[in-house]
Structure 1
Amino acid sequence: MEIRRKNVKKKQKVLWKLFLSTLYLSAFTFGGGYVIVTLMKDKFVDKYHWIEENEMLDLIAIAQSAPGAIAVNGAIVVGYKLAGLAGVLTAIFGTVLPPFLIISAISVFYQMFRDNFIIRELLDGMQAGVGAVIASVVWDMAAGITKKKEWTSIVIMVAAFIASYAMEVPVVYIVLICIAMGVSRTVLSGRGKRKK
Structure 2
Amino acid sequence: MILNLFITFFKIGAFTFGGGYAMIPIMEREIVENKKLIGDEEFTDMLALAQASPGPVAVNTSVFIGYKIRGLTGALSCLLGTVLPSFLIILIIAIFFNDFKNLAIVEEIFSGIRPAIAALILSSVVIMLKKGDNLTKRISIAVIVAVLVGFLDISPVIIIIAGALISLIMNYLKIK
Q: Is 1:41 the counterpart of 2:57 in the alignment? A: no
CA distance in 2: counterparts of 1:74 and 1:139, whole angstroms: 18
CA distance in 2: counterparts of 1:117 and 1:176, whole angstroms: 44
Alignment check: 8 A CA contact 1:26 1:96 kept = yes
Structure 1: 5+ residue runs without aligned partners? 1-13
> Match of 1:106, SS?
helix
Structure with max Cα Rg: 1
**Aligned match for 1:175, one of 135, 154, 160:** 160
Identity %: 31
The amino acid of 1:80's aligned partner reads: Y
Cα deviation for residue 182 of structure 1 reads: 4.8
Q: Which has the higher contact order (CA 8 A, sep 6+)?
A: 2
CA distance in 1: counterparts of 2:120 and 2:71, whole angstroms: 31
Cα deviation for residue 171 of structure 1 reads: 3.0
RMSD after superposition: 2.2
The amino acid of 1:162's aligned partner reads: V
**Aligned match for 2:71, one of 60, 81, 84:** 84
Give the 3 Å change call, closer, same or farther, for CA 188–89 of structure 1 in structure 2: farther
Alignment check: 8 A CA contact 2:129 2:139 kept = no
**Aligned match for 2:146, one of 138, 150, 165:** 165
CA distance in 2: counterparts of 1:46 and 1:154, whole angstroms: 26
The amino acid of 2:131's aligned partner reads: G
Alignment check: 8 A CA contact 1:27 1:99 kept = yes
Cα deviation for residue 55 of structure 1 reads: 2.2
Give per-residue Cα distances to partners, 1:158-177, cap 9 Å, x unaligned: 34312222222433333334
**Aligned match for 2:8, one of 21, 24, 27:** 21
The amino acid of 2:146's aligned partner reads: Y
Alignment check: 8 A CA contact 1:60 1:74 kept = yes
Look up the match of 1:71. 58
Give per-residue Cα distances to partners, 1:28-53, cap 9 Å, x unaligned: 01012110000011011111222222
TM-score with structure 2 length normalisation? 0.85
TM-score with structure 1 length normalisation? 0.77
> Match of 1:68, SS?
coil
Structure 2: 5+ residue runs without aligned partners? none
The amino acid of 2:157's aligned partner reads: V
**Aligned match for 2:99, one of 95, 112, 116:** 112
CA distance in 2: counterparts of 1:63 and 1:165, whole angstroms: 21
Cα deviation for residue 136 of structure 1 reads: 1.5
CA distance in 2: counterparts of 1:75 and 1:94, whole angstroms: 9
Cα deviation for residue 127 of structure 1 reads: 0.5
Give the 3 Å change call, closer, same or farther, for CA 179–79 of structure 1 in structure 2: farther
Cα deviation for residue 18 of structure 1 reads: 0.7
Alignment check: 8 A CA contact 1:160 1:174 kept = no
Give per-residue Cα distances to partners, 1:101-140, cap 9 Å, x unaligned: 1111111111023112111110111111111111222122
Cα deviation for residue 187 of structure 1 reads: 6.1
Give the 3 Å change call, closer, same or farther, for CA 85–24 of structure 1 in structure 2: same
